[in-house]
Structure 1
């Protein structure tokens, strides 16, 4: 619809009156500016219809703001979340990513001049675990360097004590939705010797086991359909093994650090600053989307997750 409007404007010959620029003074919409300053713009990265009312109600419960939070539909699959305070807005902003029914809610901070036509969602913030790095490279600086090759680095975990568990490094990265998930990468020191490191993603939402893109599953993958429509089998290069089973302290939510996941309990953990209970825990139907660590063939399908999760 938006593209049709743009195309029609390009071919439209405007009248003199239509070419007039209507200047709006700041005082004329000062109250609305103030409310927009404390707002986030959101869009669900989806491949299937979703219940808007159920999504809004669940987000209210997850964010702990049943009455104070305003959720306004400003476009097709586009929502504005207005908060009462900067603290609450930042708590939600830093507590992401947020998923509903295994579909991720992408968020952007409001900026002056933002409209339904120019707002863009290009990345999803995810905590990435870097496994199997050489002992002498297991440090925040290396984690940041590796994370910068995946996307824009938002945060790097710094261990409080050097003698605690150090199975992997953690870095929070804005992962581009236009590129396949990276499964790992080679690290090389000054001697030039390459070492393969494996990447695992915390709170990883729906992704395709064939092409590795976020936002759809195999059933909605055009590439997979084109390859298999005549009965030909296509190997799955991605799988559930890309999902991290837990955070720094393991799968026990009671012992995890503040940014760790709680998939087994199905809890919402907005960056450790609050907690709400989702409707149920993550659930994967093995008959629908399959794949193993070696990338063997599997059946097409879909991941299912109930409730809202923040990582």
Structure 2
């Protein structure tokens, strides 16, 4: 018959820590057959405000109007999973951004197969930008690629913006790092060594900080302002960085002549 002292000895021989550290070799196939997140985007809104989740879900579904539907799930506080049910719907949403809710810019990214969607990097957002004050002859795509890589990372050049005989601006799609201030202008040197300054405006630009130029917060919670590091006499960024709504040109044929006009409606 075991005594209490014998039981204590037996119990002391059990090293739970060593057992927990021993590897358990999984000898079965555990790889997922497919990427469950293939038609999903992980996203967050750049804002300090608490979002009305019901209103956000309704608004984004109304903006995107996916033919096959969408499900929007909350992963963690401020982090969402946008699940589409057809590739065309998701591709259209990605191509036609940027998007915002309550003036807060939405940043999205894909989740890799087998990855943790809560660990996805959310540091870049794509914008259509308009480049103003380019000299005559400099509206070409190679110039646009160089400028796009200055203001962000060049994605594409809008050839459809070249249809009119007169172009007020060059239109580019760029990827912006939200951890860096929005760039506003760039000095360029022409072949004849003369210098000009071109200005950038961002389409569908939501709230951002007029003090430091970051998209991640507004002036109210800017640390530079709170810590007294910013010049209170002026702002280096402002609402002038927002591009005006675009208007599509239309042509009407009358009596054999083509007459130009405009058709209202904001586009991307």
TM-score, normalised by the number of residues in structure 2: 0.79
Distance 2:146 2:24 in 1: 47
Q: How does 1:112-261 map to 2 (within 5 A)?
A: 112-159=113-160, 163-227=164-228, 233-247=232-246, 249=248, 255=263
Q: Which residue of 2 aligns with 1:76?
A: 77
Higher mean displacement: 207-216 or 154-163: 154-163
Distance 1:59 1:15 in 2: 52
Distance 1:223 1:44 in 2: 22
Work out the number of aligned pairs and report it.
239
Contact 2:35 2:112 in 1 (8 A): no
Higher mean displacement: 186-195 or 38-47: 186-195
Contact 1:165 1:248 in 2 (8 A): no
Q: Which residue of 2 aligns with 1:105?
A: 106
For CA contacts below 8 A with separation 6 or more, give which structure has more relative contact order.
1
Distance 1:125 1:58 in 2: 20
TM-score, normalised by the number of residues in structure 1: 0.69
**Is the strand fraction higher in 1 or 2?**
2
Q: Which residue of 2 aligns with 1:278?
A: none
1:245-294 superposed Cα distances (whole Å, 9 cap, x missing partner)? 123648xxx737xxxx82xxxxxx6xxxxxxxxxxxxxxxxxxxxxxxxx
Contact 1:35 1:82 in 2 (8 A): no
TM-fit CA distance, 1:88: 1.0
Cα–Cα, structure 1 residues 150 and 15, in superposed 2: closer, same or farther, change >3 Å?
farther
Structure 2 alignment gaps of length 5 or more: 1-16, 250-261
Q: Which residue of 1 aligns with 2:29?
A: 25
What is the RMSD of the two structures over their aligned residues, measured on CA atoms? 2.8
Distance 1:130 1:207 in 2: 20
Distance 1:151 1:49 in 2: 29
1:180-236 superposed Cα distances (whole Å, 9 cap, x missing partner)? 11110011123332211111111111111111111221111111122289xx83421
